[in-house]
Amino acid sequence: MILRGISIWFCMIGFLGFGKRFLNRGGKFIKYASEAALPVYIIHLPMVVIVGFYVIKFDLPIGAKYLAIVILSLISSVLLYEIAVRRFDFVRFFMGLKKRV
């Protein structure tokens, strides 16, 4: 049991090392996504509630409702971030972002 725990520990350390070596890249998408992560996270809960409130009224299978809520709330969260948060320094401050350069 102790050897199993040690081997799992070393496998996790190895996976982290491989990730640091091969997945440590930059780019435009990574820069955009890292800046958008916190505001989209804050915005997504109200969007899920609002979209879900309207989607559950439709006569659809539960899987279709789930998929509609996921897709529509993601799209609305990213659009709201892009339109209302990213462009205005006043709103950026309240979302925990620095001023635009």
* pLDDT tens track for 24-76: 888 888 888 888 999 999 999 999 999 999 999 999 999 999 999 999 999 99
The structure tokens listed for 81 are 């971030």
Rg (CA), the chain: 20
Residue 8 located in a structural domain? no
Q: How many domains are contained in the chain?
A: 1
Q: Tell me if 77 sits within 8 A of 43, measured CB to CB.
A: yes
Question: What DSSP character marks residue 70?
Answer: H
Reported as a single tens digit per residue, the pLDDT across 4-22 is: 999 999 999 999 999 998 8
Residue 34 located in a structural domain? yes
Residue 33 located in a structural domain? yes
Residue 79 located in a structural domain? yes
Residue 11 located in a structural domain? no
Range of the domain at 32: 27-94
| pTM confidence score | 0.72
Distance set, CA 11 to CA 1, 14, 19, 52, 74 (Å)? 15, 5, 12, 41, 34
The structure tokens listed for 92 are 């950026």
Residue 90 located in a structural domain? yes
